[in-house]
Structure 1
Amino acid sequence: MYVTTIILAVLWGAAAGLLVPRAAYRLSVAPEEPWRDRCPAEHVLAGPARGWLGGPGRQDCATTGSPHTAPLLTALACAVLAAATGGPRPELAVWLFVAPFAVLLASVDARVHRLPDVLTLSLAVAVPLLLGVAELLPYDAGSWRHAVLGALVLGGAYLVLHRISPGELGLGDVKLALPLGAALGWYGWDILFFGAFAGFLLGAVYGLGLVLLRRADRSSAIPFGPFMLAGGLLGLLLGAFTALP
Structure 2
Amino acid sequence: MHPILTVLAACYGAVAGVFVPRAVYRLAVEPEQQWRAACPEGHPITGPAGGWLGLARCAAPAPTAPAGLPDDHPDGTLPAPTASTGPTGPNAPTGPGTSAAHGTPDAPTAPTDPTTLTGATGPTDATGPTDPTVPTGSTAPTDPIAPTTPTDPIALTAPTGPAAPKAPAAPAAPAAPPGPSGARGRPHRVHAYGPPAVIVALLTSLVCAMLSAAVGKRPELAVWLLLAPVGVALALVDTAVKRLPDVLTLSLTAGAAALLGVAALFPGSAGSWPGALLGGCALGGLYGLLFLIHPSGMGFGDVKLALGLGTVLGWYGWAVLFTGTFAGFLLGAVYGVGLIVLRRAGRKTAVPFGPFMLTGALLGLLLGGFAS
The two structures share one fold, judged by TM-score above 0.5: yes
Contact kept, 8 Å, 1:147 with 1:183, in 2: the verdict is yes
Q: Distance in 2 between matches of 1:202 and 1:68?
A: 26
Q: Which runs of 5+ in 1 are unaligned?
A: none
Residue 178 of structure 1 pairs with residue 307 of structure 2: yes
In the TM superposition, residue 33 of structure 1 has moved relative to its aligned partner by 1.2
* Structure 1 residue identity aligned to 2:19: L
Q: RMSD value over aligned CA atoms?
A: 1.6
* Structure 1 residue identity aligned to 2:254: V
Q: Distance in 2 between matches of 1:184 and 1:51?
A: 31
* Structure 1 residue identity aligned to 2:27: L
Match of 2:289 in 1: 160
Structure 1 vs Structure 2: percent identity of aligned residues?
57
CA deviation string 1:78-122 (max 9, x = no partner): 00000011x221001000000000000001000011111011111
CA deviation string 1:128-149 (max 9, x = no partner): 1111111110110011111000
Q: Distance in 2 between matches of 1:167 and 1:38?
A: 32
Contact kept, 8 Å, 2:22 with 2:54, in 1: the verdict is no
Match of 1:84 in 2: 214
Distance 1:112 1:52, change over 3 A: farther
Residue 71 of structure 1 pairs with residue 70 of structure 2: no
Contact kept, 8 Å, 2:325 with 2:360, in 1: the verdict is yes
Residue 30 of structure 1 pairs with residue 159 of structure 2: no
- Partner residue of 2:241 out of 112, 120, 133: 112
Q: Distance in 1 between matches of 2:51 and 2:298?
A: 25
Contact kept, 8 Å, 1:39 with 1:62, in 2: the verdict is no
Match of 1:130 in 2: 259
CA deviation string 1:210-234 (max 9, x = no partner): 1111110000010000000000000
**Which residues in structure 2 correspond to 1:207-226 (within 5 Å)?**
207-226=336-355
Match of 1:53 in 2: 52
Q: Distance in 2 between matches of 1:229 and 1:202?
A: 10
SS of 1:162's equivalent in the other structure is helix
Q: Distance in 2 between matches of 1:141 and 1:235?
A: 14
Q: Distance in 1 between matches of 2:254 and 2:13?
A: 22
Q: Distance in 1 between matches of 2:325 and 2:51?
A: 28
How many residue pairs are counted as aligned between the two chains?
Answer: 241
Match of 1:42 in 2: 42
SS of 2:31's equivalent in the other structure is coil
SS of 2:287's equivalent in the other structure is helix
Contact kept, 8 Å, 1:141 with 1:187, in 2: the verdict is yes
Distance 1:12 1:113, change over 3 A: same
Tell me the TM-score normalized by structure 2. 0.62
CA deviation string 1:191-224 (max 9, x = no partner): 0000000000000111111111111000001000
In the TM superposition, residue 50 of structure 1 has moved relative to its aligned partner by 4.2
**Greater helix fraction, Structure 1 or Structure 2:** 1
In the TM superposition, residue 4 of structure 1 has moved relative to its aligned partner by 1.7
Q: Distance in 2 between matches of 1:146 and 1:52?
A: 36
Contact kept, 8 Å, 2:57 with 2:193, in 1: the verdict is no
SS of 2:307's equivalent in the other structure is helix
Tell me the TM-score normalized by structure 1. 0.94
In the TM superposition, residue 61 of structure 1 has moved relative to its aligned partner by 2.8
* Structure 2 residue identity aligned to 1:107: L
In the TM superposition, residue 46 of structure 1 has moved relative to its aligned partner by 2.9
In the TM superposition, residue 240 of structure 1 has moved relative to its aligned partner by 0.4
In the TM superposition, residue 52 of structure 1 has moved relative to its aligned partner by 6.5
Contact kept, 8 Å, 2:22 with 2:55, in 1: the verdict is no
Contact kept, 8 Å, 1:40 with 1:62, in 2: the verdict is no
In the TM superposition, residue 54 of structure 1 has moved relative to its aligned partner by 5.0
Contact kept, 8 Å, 1:84 with 1:241, in 2: the verdict is yes
* Structure 2 residue identity aligned to 1:225: G
Contact kept, 8 Å, 1:43 with 1:61, in 2: the verdict is no
